[in-house]
Amino acid sequence: MEQVLHGHCLCGAVQYQCQGHPLGVSYCYCKTCQLAAGAPVYLGALFARHAVSWQGRTTAYRSSPLGLRHFCPVCGSTLFYECTDGSQRLEITVATLEQPERLPPDCHEWTDSAIPWFHLDDALPRYPQGGPD
């Protein structure tokens, strides 16, 4: 049976589901993700675009030439990062899942941009300038 994950924004105006398993789950320390998350680190799960669907309206902001960040226009929750590089991928914000514990991270990306006083002490691979791709 295929895994189905459900998530939503803070107010519930946008609800989504992901089918299957993610291509990767990573902590990102880049400054753009820090600003989008309002936190020292962002945790995202990358899926093939066709595996994610949602109900409700999102507002999108082009945060870089490579992608759009979707958020709820009512409560402001950051929900998705849509890759616009032709790869047909969408990254969901793991913390917005109903069961975020089902998607543990597999690496740390852009660690050169980490805030010096913030450190997660685990044995996951760390990539100073990007990710494992």
Structural domains present in the chain: 4-115 (3.90.1590.10)
pTM, two decimal places: 0.92
Q: Over the stretch 1-18, which tens digit does the pLDDT of each residue have?
A: 688 999 999 999 999 999
**Which pLDDT score is estimated for 2?**
80
Per-residue pLDDT averaged across 53-72, rounded?
Answer: 95
> From its phi and psi, is residue 18 left (phi > 0), alpha (psi between -120 and 50) or beta?
beta
| Distance separating the N- and C-terminal Cα atoms of the chain | 28
> Are 54 and 14 within 8 A, CB to CB?
yes
Sign of CA dihedral 44, 50, 56, 60: positive
Whole-number percent of the chain with pLDDT over 90: 92
Alpha helices in the chain (DSSP H): 31-37
